A and B are shown apart, each in its own frame.
Chain A
């Protein structure tokens, strides 16, 4: 080995870096140069030259630089750098070198601000609309009546208050009749008719089916007390017998809703009004209908479960 003579104070526990540093220091001292002289020539700081001589390579910027500085120093002192570099760690091989900067987050930045964000709701809206259209088409095609029933029901509820203004008259009429005072009724009617809630009107209407035939025409035509008595005379009657729960709507000749409601099994309901009647009967197989005492077969008019027919 062509390395210079062992420097004083070399011990076997020295790391290669410390050994190299000790050799450098000895060579420098042999030339009678100070740390500052060396630092001046190598353009290093005094601190870095000291670190080199003490073998503290962790104080230097990194393995690549430590090796470079060591080589420069050795060449300056006229030493062969190869044996000194032998023990100094080399920056790792391909597998260990980190090439990507530190990252502690993930996620992508949006491309083309705004365009992407706006396109998403539009797409969602499009699909929602498409779903709605498809659903509507589906129900329309198969004539599933349940939703239709649902749409009719509010209609009747809507009708009720309008009719209420008139219908309350005959509904209240029995009460008025009982009191034998005709005059309070018409007065009360406009007052109480308008604000009367439809919720209240519908059940009353259902209850007072017998009285309902009176509505519209007779009620307005003649004073209240006589109306209820005169009405039944020219009215036709429909009798529904329910063996299952069913929803029924009856419209008279004028197209006004005479009766609309849901009936439980076992109920028999009589509806009177001016013929011809337009009927919509839900769950028709559980309903038996008599018109003017004669049975009417609902089966021919039934589609799926709902019967639509006109009787006169």
Chain B
């Protein structure tokens, strides 16, 4: 009723609450925050014993795996959904505080949050409640493939099939979209984190060395690839030798990483193939003509598009700025949220 007044007090926000990164889009301003979804919590002893938030975002990510006993660095999101409700709520609150101008009244924005299409009702409810607890006045949910497709600039409202594969930190979402709605939505809980795990396991198995998640992520970004290329790149890695218990350095090649990533990559390929199988033939014809679009951080894995191209025989393109696609898509939905209801998902 007083919707026109609300805009004077609070800006509407769109949040891509991802497993790896959280991005916030503010209406009329664009993406204003892009930080890792990490919270560092300090436990204080003594007479004023309490738990305080030490850091969030980039600063907290620096602490991952390097914390002393009284600080815990937590990634509260796992597999695209909330693993730690209270910490997630605090993280959203901190991020909103960062992007929202401080005013007399505490901000109570309307928030659009994207959720994995494979998430359960309970998981969606948790995300909704976390945002409400963080100060949102209203929360709308949008499914990630939809947001990714909008952000990638696909013609989602046309009567043509658009296929989008969003490879995030925790999940890979495959969506076929036509006429502003999802025709097919599939989700596998494989993403950047699983790649990292696969690299850690591979190195432990083959080299007898233990490396941390952050190191594994760096290896993936540096020399990771999804398709055997002509040039083989190498990287020097330091880790703890399991047999000796002493830190050692060793060299690993891109072909080895490709081998390490085979299993999670196969899961993504099979998810895409299942989606193509399930797509109605008319839309399948459209997709065969224009191909599928990769978004999300996983799309930055070298030659992942080549892998999918060879496996499916369809053209595969990587969207512009794949990391921010979902957030931009949420933002575009935010700009038009008062006019359209079909792209939002009910619980």
B315 touches A43 (CB 8 A): yes
In the complex, whether A193 has a CB less than 8 A from a CB of chain B is: no
B290 touches A61 (CB 8 A): yes
Chain A residue numbers with a CB within 8 Å of B315 are 42-44, 68-69, 72
How many Å from the CB of A64 to the closest CB on chain B? Answer: 4
Chain A residue numbers with a CB within 8 Å of B314 are 43
Closest to B341 in A: A100
Category for how many chain A residues contact B? 20 to 34
Given A61-B289, A90-B153, A99-B336, are A71 and B180 neighbors across the interface (CB < 8 Å)? no
In the complex, whether B55 has a CB less than 8 A from a CB of chain A is: no
Which of B111-119, B155-163, B210-218, B268-276 interfaces with chain A? Answer: B155-163
Instruction: Name the interface residues of B275-333: CB closer than 8 Å to any CB of A.
Output: 289-291, 293, 305, 309, 313-320, 328, 331-333
Instruction: Name the interface residues of A62-78: CB closer than 8 Å to any CB of B.
Output: 62-65, 67-69, 71-72
Closest to A96 in B: B332
Q: How far is the CA of A91 from the CA of B340 in the complex (A)?
A: 20
Interface residue tally for chain B (C-beta within 8 Å): 36
B336 touches A43 (CB 8 A): no
B293 touches A68 (CB 8 A): yes
B153 touches A43 (CB 8 A): no
Q: Which of A72, A99, A102 is close to B317, meaning CB atoms less than 8 Å apart?
A: A72
A91 touches B153 (CB 8 A): yes
Instruction: Name the interface residues of A39-70: CB closer than 8 Å to any CB of B.
Output: 42-45, 61-65, 67-69
Instruction: Name the interface residues of A56-114: CB closer than 8 Å to any CB of B.
Output: 61-65, 67-69, 71-72, 90-92, 94-95, 97-102
Chain A residue numbers with a CB within 8 Å of B150 are 97, 99
B319 touches A95 (CB 8 A): no
In the complex, whether B152 has a CB less than 8 A from a CB of chain A is: yes
In the complex, whether B345 has a CB less than 8 A from a CB of chain A is: no
Chain A residue numbers with a CB within 8 Å of B152 are 64
Q: How far is the CA of A91 from the CA of B289 in the complex (A)?
A: 19
Closest to B332 in A: A94
Q: Which of B157, B305, B331, B333 is close to A72, meaning CB atoms less than 8 Å apart?
A: B305
Which residues of B does A touch, CB under 8 Å? 150, 152-160, 179-180, 289-291, 293, 305, 309, 313-320, 328, 331-333, 335-336, 339-340, 342-343
Which residues of A does B touch, CB under 8 Å? 42-45, 61-65, 67-69, 71-72, 90-92, 94-95, 97-102
Other A-B pairs beyond A43-B315, A45-B289, A64-B154, 7, CB < 8 Å: A69-B315, A71-B318, A91-B153, A94-B335, A97-B153, A98-B157, A99-B180
